[in-house]
Chains A and B, each alone.
Chain A
């Protein structure tokens, strides 16, 4: 006993422990990686089963093992479709970090393969919108000018004139779209996450959706006028006028004043 206790307090013990852990993780990752890569092709029964297991481990505590949800806690996911899963999990909103006015986007907690497996299982529960194809979200095929008009009519009242984001009631908000991927933008329109309304294909046609993506992608390239100060309009401009413009100039007056005396 005494010998073990002495060894446990050995100076190198923590370092060895960390090294052992690292070796273990790398080893597991090396073994696991090829198997997940192979499983991406199609939604096989295998994917659905893996998805169900992932769901049971990560989502079921709120949504229930059968994904039928709980009143006042989490909605039923039957029939939400793969697009909803891809959006919610892909943007890191799910699994939710803490309850609050709305789920906050963060770093995605799963790999794209795991997300696809989750989506495969959820869409097996009932038909729903599918993840859009690469062509459907290809900004280069869209008409940005038309997208601007569609965006202004349908989206700008919450997301701001170019998607810089804006406030909603009771602590909810429309997030900035300036860093959102085209696929996620499309899925959001299709599924209407959280406070957002659903814009189905009768409401905004798939072509118009692609035009919106073209418009937003053009905004993500930056402003021709320089740094955009968050693209949230005159408030940030006024703030900068006081802070930077007047600040620098008053700094100069003090400097000029100090020189003379």
Chain B
């Protein structure tokens, strides 16, 4: 039986290989090396939740009706009987209450959407803090960034499809934001909605975007993203023997194929468990869309909350100046334009551009395949934490009513607090993080030069107390000294010896200022000379050190002996 099966498998493989020469590829992939770390699986979570989204999404399209035709509900859900609604909403109710397993699949789909974006952002944070975006991976950072933005688009278009009150309120905000764009705003809104909001076209259009356009782009970019990972090879955490020229890890087959395959089912299983236990987006609570009512707790899904938060944060009057301007009879709503378009534009622009910003500061052109420990790049780590702080403040302000009721706070005071915090807290967090990183770096230097504290105190005959240190092993030393020590850039003078002004001097000055911001204040890793010197110093007193250690051991044994005696006597 076994040989028969093997022959059949081998025959099929040969048949395919003879016609496609795929064997080479399989061999290439199977032998591809990957380093091992749990944080390298964060991107996998995003990938697998996307697969779950595709699977559950296909099921939902079989029953969802993307139409804004008005119907009167006569289905299984009693509290909606006779209520006028669109076919989109009615079919969502049908999926939830009449299609067998429909509600579970809907909840799986929605929970995986929330997870998809949470995983993407966590993965981005991992890439950012470990410096995995550096050359040659800048392009892949951009691809990943675009995937995140497409994820937001996929989420928002899907969130709006059931045509319920909650998502309708969200669309109304989008309509307002679009209309705040100068000159083309109202035309764009009419074009988008097929007339004055809400029009009769938006649901079918969102449907096409949600099931065809956006997922198509996401799939294509995932392919590019993974292809580039293979092409560049995976980054690795610093450690003994790991350099920018090698990859230390295991081949894709069999260990990782088994792990990754199993991990898909872990992810799917946990999503299914949560979807089976917790309600998500209960559209039957919100009711069919009607432009008039807005209920308390009206918020977008979490990944759009930061835009909602910025809108809630923006005052209508700033220092007595109204933020809605009228210019030549045209209204310019800065109170919408600024928080909902300009802020996200700058924020996302900064994230997309970050690899280049840091490259200007370092001036480093080499390829980086060994990851940074976040502490060794204090300014980058500080910027990351400040950015997260900024984002979290916006998310909290977007949930300000929930936060206020949960903690019994005044909604007004909370908003005023966040209006100040958005400017004050990120710089404070930057500074605190930078200091913590530098403290950790100093600690690393201390460890490399003097070794681990053993907690054993020795008293010499002359009365001097000394703590015995044990030296680090090679792996520990490598981890702490192998990173780059980058000095601020030096630029050529503005005028050459003939007094001719140099082109590009101002740009260089900018890069120099940036470089100083990054590297002026830094803790250099222990150099070879320093290490040898420290060893020599210890070496010089080698005999002394041995005596110390022996003394310590002696003292320890004596103490243990005494304790045992005391304990025996107590018995």
A residues near B, CB below 8 A? 101, 144-145, 147-149, 152-153, 156-162, 164-171, 173-174, 215, 218-219, 223-229, 231-242, 244-246, 248-250, 252-254, 256-258, 260-261
Contact = CB atoms under 8 A, between A and B. Distances in A.
A170 B410 contact: yes
Contacts of A227: 277-279
Interface of B: 36-39, 41-42, 44-45, 78-83, 96-97, 103, 107, 111, 114-115, 118-119, 122, 165-166, 250, 255, 259, 262-263, 266-267, 270-271, 274, 276-282, 284-287, 290, 292-303, 305, 398-402, 404-405, 408-413
A218 B277 contact: no
B285 A234 contact: no
A169 B401 CA distance: 9
Given A101-B410, A152-B287, A157 B81 contact: no
27 contacts: A148-B79, A148-B80, A153-B292, A161-B297, A169-B411, A170-B410, A170-B413, A173-B404, A218-B79, A225-B278, A225-B280, A227-B278, A233-B299, A234-B299, A234-B300, A237-B301, A238-B305, A240-B278, A245-B271, A246-B118, A248-B274, A253-B38, A253-B44, A253-B263, A256-B259, A257-B37, A258-B38
A238 B279 contact: no
Contacts of B44: 253
B271 A232 contact: no
Contacts of A218: 78-79
Given A157-B295, A160-B296, A167-B402, A237 B37 contact: no
Contacts of B119: 246, 249
A253 B287 contact: no
Nearest to A240: B278
Nearest to A261: B36
A226 B36 CA distance: 38
Given A152-B287, A157-B294, A246 B79 contact: no
A249 B267 contact: yes
Q: Which of B115, B250, B280 has most A Cβ within 10 Å?
A: B280
B206 to A, nearest CB: 18
A83 B36 CA distance: 68
Interface of A is mostly: helix
A240 B79 CA distance: 28
B412 A229 contact: no
A194 B303 CA distance: 36
Nearest to B274: A245
A80 B405 CA distance: 28
Contacts of A241: 111, 114-115, 118, 302
Contacts of A161: 165-166, 285-287, 295-297
A145 B80 contact: yes
B279 A226 contact: yes
B295 A238 contact: no
Contacts of A244: 274, 278
B157 to A, nearest CB: 16
Contacts of A232: 297, 402
Contacts of B282: 162, 223-225, 228, 231
A257 B34 CA distance: 13
B284 A224 contact: yes
User: Nearest 3 A-B pairs (CB), nearest first?
Assistant: A166-B296, A238-B302, A225-B279
B296 A174 contact: yes
Q: Which of A101, A166, A223 has most B Cβ within 10 Å?
A: A166
B295 A156 contact: yes
A1 B329 CA distance: 97
Nearest to B107: A225
A260 B255 CA distance: 9
A230 B299 CA distance: 14
A223 B79 CA distance: 13
Contacts of A159: 295-296
A254 B45 CA distance: 12
Contacts of B398: 235
Contacts of A145: 78-83
Nearest to B396: A235
B39 to A, nearest CB: 8
Given A148-B83, A235-B297, A173 B405 contact: yes
A256 B38 contact: yes
A245 B38 contact: no
B38 A257 contact: yes
B401 A167 contact: yes
B287 to A, nearest CB: 6
Nearest to B45: A249
B474 to A, nearest CB: 19
Nearest to A176: B405
A169 B45 CA distance: 41
A158 B82 contact: no
Given A223-B279, A233-B299, A245 B293 contact: no
B281 to A, nearest CB: 7
A185 to B, nearest CB: 16
Contacts of A226: 107, 276-279
Nearest to A175: B405
A162 B411 CA distance: 21
B49 to A, nearest CB: 9
Contacts of A215: 79
Contacts of B36: 257, 260-261
A233 B45 CA distance: 25
B305 A245 contact: no
Given A153-B292, A235-B302, A256-B262, 20 more contacts: A145-B81, A145-B82, A156-B293, A161-B285, A166-B405, A167-B400, A167-B411, A169-B411, A171-B404, A174-B296, A225-B96, A234-B302, A240-B278, A249-B45, A249-B119, A253-B44, A256-B41, A257-B41, A260-B250, A260-B255
A164 B402 CA distance: 11
A252 B41 CA distance: 10
A157 B410 contact: no
A233 B405 CA distance: 14
Contacts of B78: 144-145, 218
Nearest to B293: A152
Contacts of B297: 160-161, 164, 166, 232-233, 235
A218 B298 CA distance: 21
A168 B411 contact: yes
A207 to B, nearest CB: 16
A25 B107 CA distance: 54
Contacts of B115: 241, 245-246, 249
B103 to A, nearest CB: 6
A173 B97 CA distance: 33
B79 A229 contact: no
Contacts of B410: 101, 169-171
B116 to A, nearest CB: 10
Contact of B278 (A229, A238, A252): A229
Contacts of A252: 263, 266-267, 270
Contacts of B103: 224-225
A220 B236 CA distance: 53
B281 A234 contact: yes
A43 B297 CA distance: 43
A195 to B, nearest CB: 12
A233 B298 contact: yes
A196 to B, nearest CB: 13
Nearest to B271: A245
Contacts of B255: 260
Nearest to B297: A233
Contact of A237 (B114, B267, B277, B285): B114
